[in-house]
Amino acid sequence: MLDPDAEYEVVINSEFPFTKQPDIRIPSDRDTYLSDRDANILGWGIEKVRLVLATPPIAASILEENYPGASVKDETLINWV
């Protein structure tokens, strides 16, 4: 995302940062990672990737969408994000 609304502090909390997830601290005035705008943009992006993957010849190599699943669309997809 090139211009996110949400801002966080990410702390590498291990001497082996690739074996443990970073500590993401949400500011006290927010209760979610993403703003509504950020979630909508990511949902739009997922839909665009789905369109690309549904075109030949790529579609022949795709068995199914594992997560969140092809049936997750529209508002449900935004909520999943």
Alpha-carbon distance 55 to 8, whole Å?
Answer: 36
Residue bearing the bigger pLDDT, 8 or 50: 50
Alpha-carbon distance 40 to 78, whole Å?
Answer: 6
pTM score: 0.68
User: Which of 47, 41, 53, 54 lies closest to 72, judged by CA?
Assistant: 47
> Residue 44: is its pLDDT beyond 70?
yes
> Residue 15: is its pLDDT beyond 70?
no
Listed by start position, the domains of the chain span 9-80
> Residue 43: is its pLDDT beyond 70?
yes
